[in-house]
Amino acid sequence: MSSAAVLAAEFQAPSFEYSLLSPLLVIFGVAITGVLVEAFAPRGSRYLLQAVLAVLGVVGALVATVIVGLNLVSRGGGTAHGSIAAEGAIAVDGPSIFIWGTVLVLSLVSVLLFAERRLEGGVLSFAGQAAALPGTEAEREASTRGLEHTEVFPLMMFAVGGMMLFPASNDLLTMFVALEVLSLPLYLLCGLARRRRLLSQEAALKYFMLGAFSSGFFIYGIALVYGYAGSMNFAAISAAVSGRAGGEGLLLGGIALLAVGMMFKVGAAPFHAWTPDVYQGAPTAVTAFMAACTKVAAFGALLRLFYVAFGGARWDWTPMVWVIAILTMVVGSVLALSQTDVKRMLAYSSIAHAGFLLTGFVGAQQVADVGIGEITSLQAVLFYLVTYGFTTVAAFAVVTVVRDAGGEATHLSRWSGLGKESPVVAGVFAVLLLGMAGIPLTSGFTGKWAVFTTALAGGAWPLVVTAVLFSVVAAFFYVRVIVLMYFSDPVGEGPTVATPSILTTIVIAVGFAATLALGVVPGPVLDLAAAAGEFIR
């Protein structure tokens, strides 16, 4: 029998559920179209084309997500719904849909931030010509000619696509590909700042190198787990883990290494070191996008990987996550105390938030464990991600409008007296900071409440006590900024608040409104998270 005959006997055209995957397809389609626009559209018209295309693409994907979400099939006795698509590679279930929606809404907001042109005097806040060396004649020429890299839009769309695929992937290989698809455009975007380009390029390189390093761990972990389970598929891995067929070392090593890759992406200590440098160096719009969306996507993937594939080995990985969570909260909260740069401070704040999220993650309350009216760990973490995402995007958007002659005035000393200079901006920022600190009546409080209660219900009370203690430490540095803005006199000429276009204004307004609304009436979004149900396998 020839090899061709073997193929003929076995080959079946793979089925591909186009309608279920339509949100992903729309985003990738828009990204590729964006590359073509870049190739063929005249320079003058690219900005508008790209921006509109990106907005329409994200909105389209959002609509598709809603439609897919409304038509999910119920499974597992009503606690979960969805289907496995693309020959087992992608799971389109409640949590996927929720994360897709969150990522897309936050991306929509971020696109507006990317498209802001007024703050830099009519050009994007990205490098005019990335290839031009900083401080050279070529750079000055690019600047005077008003060059722009409108490639940022398709790059961002690729990243969004990766972020959607990442938490929905149902096997390790798809997950790895998604991880790279979301990471590579981000590495590039980080290096594209218009101002302080050396810092930006350094950030990009650091991010890339450390990202590649951690990807190495991830793929090593994949290899070990494959060696243990004999399959990349989560359901198969789950079955193997529950069966415990022996070869414990392979499994535990694989879990540990996969955790390293994941923890790097969510910015948990001790794999957080890139976060402050990259958040500070990257263009602020990218930082906003990255801080909000990457964290959402990475936590989604972390939840799926550990709850679905390694759910049976929960008692094996829980101690490790405890240690990482505590370390992350300590590092994030304590190091933020001594920061003098707003963006770095927010970076450490995002590390601390990762710690709080891990606290919720570790509770591992499943549908079977909770009573009526309570929520599972998964739902609590999803809700926290929503609250965190909006507040973060808006906070970074505020950073873009506080400026001096050299661009954004990110040094904290420049922020003193902002309350007098611009009561509105300072007031909004103060509310956002209070939100991050978790003061009641803001979204941060309801989010923290959700994850801490599920963690408590899961028996992780020492972790919750630690989390509450370090929330207090964290509150200190948030409030310090508020004190600085309102009760300190401006240094020198003081900060100026540039008037942004409607785009950035929308971003700030949406984030601000979400911070307050989710604090006062969290019900609808909590219900939505509860409706997301469990992962399917």
Q: Which residue ranges make up the site for other proteins (CB under 8 A)?
A: 4, 7-8, 11, 13, 32, 35-36, 38-40, 131, 205-206, 209-210, 213-214, 217, 248-249, 252-253, 255-257, 259-260, 263-264, 269-271, 273-274, 276-277, 316-317, 319-320, 323-324, 331, 334-338, 473, 476
User: Is the CB of 70 or the CB of 131 nearer to other proteins?
Assistant: 131
Question: Judged by CB, which is closer to other proteins: 413, or 505?
Answer: 413
Chain centre to alpha carbon of residue 526:
19
With beta carbons less than 8 A apart as the criterion, state whether 359 and 325 touch: yes
The minimum distance between CB 85 and other proteins, in angstroms, equals 17
* 139 vs 277 by CB, closer to other proteins: 277
For other proteins, the closer CB: 7 or 368: 7
Q: Which of 167, 214, 166 is nearest to 187 (CA)?
A: 214
Which two three-digit tokens encode residue 216?
A: 């190495």
Among residues 230 and 319, whose Cβ is nearest to other proteins?
319
| Preceding omega of 270 cis (within 30 degrees of 0) | yes
> What sign has the CA pseudo-torsion 488, 489, 492, 496?
positive
Q: How far apart are the C-alpha atoms of 318 and 325, rounded to whole Å?
A: 10
Nearest approach in angstroms of CB 149 to other proteins is 11
255: tokens are 């879990």
| Choice between 253 and 312, CB closer to other proteins | 253
In the complex, minimum distance from the CB of residue 320 to other proteins, in angstroms, rounded to a whole number: 6
The nearest distance, CB 390 to other proteins, in angstroms, is: 27
C-beta of 289 vs 310, nearer to other proteins: 310
Closest separation between CB of residue 99 and other proteins, Å? 25
Distance CA 32, CA 16 (A): 20
- Please, what is the minimum distance in Å from the beta carbon of residue 213 to other proteins? 5
Angle at 377 between CA 375 and CA 381, to 5 degrees: 100
Residue 344 or 537: the one with the smaller Cβ distance to other proteins is 344
The least CB distance from residue 313 to other proteins, in Å, is 9
- Sign of the alpha-carbon dihedral angle for 274, 336, 428, 295: positive
Among candidates 182, 189, 148, which has minimal Cα distance to 49? 148
Structure tokens that stand for 297 in this block: 């996507």
Minimal distance in Å, beta carbon 90 to other proteins? 17
Gap between the Cα atoms of 406 and 385, Å rounded = 33
Task: Output 331 or 409, the one with its CB closest to other proteins.
Answer: 331
CB of 139 to other proteins, least distance (A): 14
Residue 118 vs 206, nearer CB to other proteins: 206
* Strand ordering across the sheet containing 496-497: 407-408, 402-404, 496-497
Tally Cβ neighbours within 10 Å of residue 8. Answer: 9
Residue 276 or 363 with smaller CB distance to other proteins: 276
3-state secondary structure of 85: strand
Minimum separation from the CB atom of position 8 to other proteins (A): 5
Instruction: Give 39 or 424: the residue with its C-beta nearer to other proteins.
Output: 39
Q: What is the nearest approach in angstroms of other proteins to the Cβ of residue 134?
A: 13
What is the spatial distance between Cα 329 and Cα 448, in angstroms, rounded to a whole number?
Answer: 13
| Least Cβ distance, residue 278 to other proteins (angstroms) | 10
Residue closer to other proteins by CB (options 19, 338) is: 338
**Which residue, among 265, 383, 250, 364, has the nearest Cα to 311 in the 3D structure?**
364
Q: Distance between CA 253 and CA 240 in Å, rounded?
A: 15
Where b means 16+ CB within 10 Å and e means fewer, 460-490 reads beebbebbeebbebbbebbebbbebbbeeeb
Contact between 311 and 238 (Cβ < 8 Å): yes
The SS3 assignment for 481 reads helix
Provide the minimum distance between the beta carbon of 471 and other proteins in the complex, in angstroms, as a whole number.
13
Q: In what order do the strands lie in the sheet with 74-75?
A: 74-75, 80-85, 90-93
| Rounded-to-10 torsion of CA 343, 345, 349, 354 | 70
Which tokens sit at 210? 């450390």
In this structure, are residues 93 and 142 in contact, taking their beta carbons and an 8 Å threshold? Answer: no
Under 8 Å between Cβ of 116 and 501? yes
**Residue 143's CB: how many other CB atoms inside 10 A?**
15
